[in-house]
Structure 1
Amino acid sequence: MKIFIIALSGAILLLLLMLNKKQLSKLFENLSVFWFRLAFAFLVLFALNIAGGFVGLYFPVNIASGLLLAVLGIPGLAALFSFAFFL
């Protein structure tokens, strides 16, 4: 496992060295947008969990539901509502 992690980090570093400045800045911009969306998704999940407690709906605050909401956006929110309502 240790060798796999070292090889993976080496491969990632080699890919980063092959990128030019413009591609590297675009990559970091996309990563920062994703992390912001993930943080905002957890904020929304926390608010939904509190508000849903008043009406009897439970929204789990975990990494799977956070990623679902961060990647899909509004359709992910609809999926979470349907999971909470039907399950």
Structure 2
Amino acid sequence: MKVVGIGIIGMVLLLLLVMDKKQIQKVLERLSVYWFRLAFAFLILFAMNVAGGFIGVYVPVNVLSGLLLAILGIPGFAALCAFAVFL
């Protein structure tokens, strides 16, 4: 397990050495947008869980549903609502 971790860190450092400054800025900007979307998705999941608790609908707050909501956006929100109601 340690070897895999060291290998991944080495590959990331090698990629950073090959990239120029503008490419690194683009990658970090996209990564920051993704992390913001993920954090906002968990906020929405928490709000859905609290609001759904009043009407007896349970919305799971876990990594998979957070990723679904962060990646798909509004269709992901609709899918989570459908899963919560019909399952």
Q: TM-score range, shorter-chain basis?
A: over 0.9
**Paired residue type of 2:37:** R
- TM-score after normalising by structure 2: 0.96
Aligned to 2:40: 40
**Alignment size in residue pairs:** 87
Q: RMSD of aligned C-alpha atoms? A: 0.7
Structure 1 counterpart of 2:82: 82
Runs of 4+ deviating beyond 4 Å: none
Mark the runs of 5 or more structure 2 residues left unpaired by the alignment: none
Match of 2:5, as an amino acid?
I
In structure 2, the partner of 1:11 is 11
SS in 1 for 2:37: helix
The alpha-carbon deviation at position 6 of structure 1 amounts to: 0.5
Alpha-carbon distance in 2 for matches of 1:16, 1:60: 37
TM score, norm. by length of structure 1:
0.96
TM-fit CA distance, 1:56 = 1.2
CA distance in 2: counterparts of 1:32 and 1:8, whole angstroms: 20
- CA offsets 1:29-85 (integer angstroms, 9 cap, x no match): 000000000000000000000001111111111111111100110010011011101
What's the % identity of the aligned pairs?
66
Q: Which runs of 5+ in 1 are unaligned?
A: none
The Cα shift of 1:17 comes to 1.2
